[in-house]
Amino acid sequence: MAVGGARMGPRSGHIKFKKGIKWKDLSRSFPGLFKLFLEETGQKNDDELFDQMLLKQNMGCLEKNQKPEGYNRNNRVRMVFPITDRGPEMYIYRVAGGDDVVRITNRVSEYLSRHRLAHKVEWDKMFLFELKGRSKRPS
């Protein structure tokens, strides 16, 4: 699932869960996933209560089989659960491309695999990137 090549790393790593997985299926593994994300990105808050509050909000959504917020703060790396009709998916997004997106996404993927949450990983599949690519093409 790793990405190779000499170019700058991708800006987003997408994790699309296999058909049949529901939001509530993520609830058992989400606390560890959230902690892993914060540690891998170096974004643990000095105020542990803030991280605990975000975790509790996300868990409340998952337990109700609803899309969680993730970690969508104005930080350098985000964990986003987009609104789609395709079922549960998430992406790791970095404001500027970097190798850490690959590392973090691969670590999250490994964690999910250990917790038997079937998924596939794709790179730079955000609709915004597609629009930017279209605008750069000559008419």
pLDDT at 139 over 70: no
Least confident of 4-13, 22-31, 80-89, 93-102: 4-13
Query: 105 phi and psi, to 5 degrees?
Result: -60, -45
Q: Exposed, middle or buried by CB within 10 Å (0-12, 13-18, 19+), for 3?
A: middle
68-90 pLDDT per residue, tens: 999 987 778 999 999 888 889 99
Q: Are 75 and 43 in contact (CB under 8 A)?
A: yes
Q: In the predicted model, what is the mean pLDDT of residues 7-30?
A: 91
- Report pLDDT digits (tens) over 21-73: 999 999 999 999 999 999 999 989 888 899 999 999 999 999 999 999 999 87
CA distances from 72 to 13, 31, 53, 58, 68 (A): 15, 16, 14, 11, 10
pTM: 0.81
Q: What is the per-residue pLDDT for 127? A: 55
- 79: enclosing H helix or E strand: strand 77-80
